[in-house]
Structure 1
């Protein structure tokens, strides 16, 4: 199977669930429709190609959301078991429903808990968290809980928005989204150096640290947002243009600068 992020979007999207046949047909033509998630997935898949986890048996998707990264990891590593963990009970139920329909219950287990809860956990080979920690107050970010639950030599990946954001179009065009960010992104407090420092203080060795999502990627998101607000007639062409810009972004991005950052740490032996 070729790896395709969000291949089950027609089962995970609330809008698409209303007409799954039409949604599946639409997805086969236009591909994945959430531009922000699409951009994140491109970075994630590139990191996975560099990470020596082909023999990993236990992996955790920390803050699994719609379960799309859990499905991707199950496709990538068919012999591994994936724990899809989230504190949102409604999302966990939706993921369980999706897994049942896709016949993936044996490969992915859904856990509605916090990783710091005192339950019996296995030792994981790899834990990853994609755009989750920005929703958590800095003092409550579960770095130490992850370190405890990793085997020696196990990896931990955190990808979050950069504290310092660059934009293209006037800020007032995105006031609705900014209000949401102000309420939700209580943990968007790190630049790349700061996130590396947190990993080191928590006891991890740094394996990889990068900034991604340059100005072309930001332009892609802004165009897609405006297109979606304008309606279907503009949403589709802006979706295709946005994906093109995201594909070009790595070739034009300046090293160390970007609206997203990620750090890959390893638990010492």
Structure 2
């Protein structure tokens, strides 16, 4: 999720506009296609897992807790942990969990790239985090340590050699990424080398998702909430088509793996 939705309002924003923004987000969700489309793929793929088998869940790199909160509702009898190293996001997610009165989700300051203790999780999710970590091989090895035998790992991450349709975004790079992304086959081989069996592999952000994301991102760069508010519902509908077709290529990859 973009941090711009959590920043203090500028002087040009009136109380009425701030109020309308809150109502809009409550009704339609955060108007950021990248977050919403990742969320749609995440929910679709995670529904393959029997809720009774996921008793202890780790959101590895939980950010502000959006996926942790969904997991706590979808797996109400499970214990959900979120690990995060950004202290602002950690504080935000803890405060939000308290306001939502969620009893089965807790957030901790832990680094998935360094914490090597063996655990017994049934499910680990890692969404758009692996590309930020220099030692991704060590992190995947840690995931294998954290999981029980038969436990599931869900990873979503960008792919390399991403195709851009809009000229203004062809040279755009994410400044916080340690790498552009991963080659799908190499990532899956890395998982296999660490004792995982691939259950499903999906190219995400195909043609429809890419177009919707690029247009959305272009508007975000211009910081115009009014234009974004008008365009977002149409871009969201466009992005849904991404899930209706099997993408031959995509900006991202979603992998569900099971520990042997």
Mark yes or no: TM-score above 0.5. yes
Q: Is the 8 A contact 2:169 2:214 kept in 1?
A: no
Q: Distance in 1 between matches of 2:134 and 2:196?
A: 20
Name the structure 2 match of 1:186.
178
Q: Aligned residues, how many?
A: 251
Deviations 1:26-72 (A, max 9, x none): 22333332211001001001101212343321000000011000000
Measure, in 2, the Cα distance between the counterparts of 1:199 and 1:140. Answer: 9
Instruction: Let me know the Cα RMSD of the aligned residues.
Output: 2.6
Q: Tell me, what secondary structure is at the counterpart of 1:126?
A: strand
Residue in 2 that maps onto 1:247: 240
Matches within 5 A, 1:40-189: 40-104=38-102, 106-115=103-112, 116-117=114-115, 122-139=119-136, 141-170=138-167, 172-173=168-169, 178-179=172-173, 181=174, 183-189=175-181
Match of residue 251 from structure 2: 259
C-alpha distance in 1 between matches for 2:236 and 2:8 = 20
TM-score between the two structures when normalised by the length of structure 2: 0.87
Find the counterpart in structure 1 of residue 187 from structure 2: 195
Map 1:216-231 → 2, pairs under 5 A: 216-228=208-220, 229=222, 231=224
Distance in 1 between the 2:26 and 2:8 partners?
13
Cα drift, residue 230 of structure 1 = 5.8
Contact 2:188–2:198 (8 Å) recurs in 1: yes
For 1:109-157, what per-residue CA distance to the aligned partner results, in whole angstroms no more than 9, with x for missing partners? Answer: 11101234256x6410000100000101145541111111111100111
Find 1:204's aligned residue among 196, 202, 219.
196
Gaps of 5+ in 2: none
Query: How far apart, CA to CA, are the structure 1 residues paired with 2:58 and 2:71?
Result: 10
TM-score (norm 1): 0.84
- 1:3 is matched with which residue? none
Query: In the alignment, is residue 232 of structure 1 matched against residue 225 of structure 2?
Result: yes
